[in-house]
Structure 1
Amino acid sequence: MNIELLIAAGVIALILQFFDASLGQGYGTLTPILIILGFDPLDVVLAVLLTSFALSGVTALLHHSYRNIDFSFEKKDFKIAIMLSGFGILGVALGVLLAVNMPDYALKGYIGAVIIITGIAVFLKNKTRSVSWRRLVALGSIASFNKGMTGGGFGPVLAGGQIISGVKSRSAVAITAFVESIVSLAGVIIFLITIGFTSTEGWLIAALLIGGLISTPAAVYIVKHINLNKLRYLIGSAAILSGMIVFLELFI
């Protein structure tokens, strides 16, 4: 156990979870960063999945309690979240199966392009429209498919895709947290069944949880008070930036 590395991991989780809780994207970037820092890849995968489940769940609950969204059973937002969660689990499973037979450069090129296109579409969306369930199903499935193939490209496409489909920005961020929690839980279950758990992961999980829990309330509070159009532009900008980073990884 390296205390300095664990502290660094916790600080990075604090920063990335802030963006994830406020813009619906960012926490997944933690996986390659932790591997670069020297953590075992399998330890990192389980730690990020498990903490993503916990932190995204807390984020969704805080968004509900701050009234950024209403997750009451009879509300449309809850129905959207449940629907996207179901398609999310199926998309992840399909993505994992296909990822085995696709070269890395093709995966990254595809995901980078999808994220950038989604971000641009968020910018171009000027008028309010009723929620399109077909768009939600399509973009939600693509987001989960991305996550299953490489672990990335989930938040930007899911949050941006909801906005394109007519969901308000605040609701899109909260629903993304809800869905990511469910999909991450499915990933944890699959991981534990196939690989198992080691004591090393416990320390890393604790560090990531502490860092993430510190920043989550502030991020949710900002979402409550920020202008909806500004939030939409921030989500679109973050998606475009994420896509560009994915493309850059092809040449590094």
Structure 2
Amino acid sequence: MIHIVLLAFLCELVDSTLGMGYGTTLTPLLLLLGYSPLQVVPVVLLSDLVTGVAAAFFHHRLGNSDFRLGSQDLKVGLVFAGSGAVAAVAAIVLAVKVPEFWLTLYIGAMVTLIRVRILLMGNRQISFSWPRIIGIGLLAAFNKGLSGGGYGPLVTGGQLLSGQARNAVGITSLAEAAICLVAVVGYALSGAAPDLALAPYLLFGALLSTPVSAMIVRELPLREFRRFVGAATPSPWACSC
């Protein structure tokens, strides 16, 4: 299982540095290794919950984000979390009922759509608005609950296009942890019996990367940070499974 730990470390390193890539990359890789969606999605959500909290803590500690009471970053994170709760639960209801083939196909299709949408936006700046933040949160959380991934590219990319900077990564980590909590509880209440055999390996590998990621974000020039976020957005072929 060393390869699972390494995959989790690398995927979370990218995720906690650029605000995307953990579930979006790890889920299809685990599917390609032969695991089923219901073996993969719940444990990816569980590990993302724990590492999201850890990443938000380190981003706050190192000054990349500000999660003090009343801060703008905390408000945006809570709006993302609240607006996505219902969408995540709705997605879980579908996930336990949809045949495996269609669930796997959806994962690939959504990753492709995310990529195309961000590429079409290019460098165009979009003014900040709370309705847009709520809409992004709903769509991203629905995808997260259904596939285990796809949250970061929408939320982080949407924030950057709305004028946010390094703080977008910490906000995404905080909000994603809350969405994952809702999703994990939803799976527990759905009656499904997820296989948690992968959970310890994913948790161990992913947690190791969170302090390293926060340090990278702090030291990386903003222009290069934006460039790396754009390059990290999943390619249309990332989920050809």
For the aligned pair, the TM-score class normalised by the smaller chain equals 0.7 to 0.9
Q: Which residue of 2 aligns with 1:3?
A: none
Note if 1:78 corresponds to 2:74: yes
Note if 1:51 corresponds to 2:47: yes
Shift of 1:10: 0.4
Q: Which residue of 1 aligns with 2:10?
A: 15
Percentage of matched positions with identical amino acids: 32
Q: Secondary structure at the match of 1:187?
A: helix
Alpha-carbon separation, structure 2, partners of 1:89 and 1:115: 24
Question: Is the radius of gyration larger for structure 1 or structure 2?
Answer: 1
TM-score, normalising length: structure 2: 0.86
Distance 1:119 1:96, change over 3 A: farther
In terms of mean alpha carbon deviation, does 91-100 or 211-220 score higher? 91-100
**Unpaired segments ≥5 residues, structure 1:** 1-5
User: In the alignment, residue 210 of structure 2 is paired with which amino acid?
Assistant: T
Q: Which residue of 1 aligns with 2:236?
A: 244
How far does the alpha carbon of each residue in 1:62-94 deviate from its partner, in whole angstroms, 9 at most, with x for none? 000001011011111100000000111122234
Note if 1:134 corresponds to 2:122: no
Aligned residues: 236
Distance 1:145 1:65, change over 3 A: same
Note if 1:148 corresponds to 2:145: yes
Q: Which residue of 1 aligns with 2:115?
A: 115
Aligned-pair Cα RMSD in Å: 2.6
Distance 1:111 1:98, change over 3 A: farther
Q: Secondary structure at the match of 1:156?
A: helix
Shift of 1:46: 2.3
**Unpaired segments ≥5 residues, structure 2:** none
How far does the alpha carbon of each residue in 1:181-225 deviate from its partner, in whole angstroms, 9 at most, with x for none? 111111111112224667x62x52221121112222111100001
Paired residues of 2:92 and 2:187 also in contact (CA < 8 A) = no
Which of 195, 206, 216 does residue 210 from structure 2 map onto?
Answer: 216
Paired residues of 2:114 and 2:153 also in contact (CA < 8 A) = no
TM-score, normalising length: structure 1: 0.82
Structure ranking higher in helix proportion: 1
Q: Which residue of 2 aligns with 1:62?
A: 58
Distance 1:8 1:119, change over 3 A: same
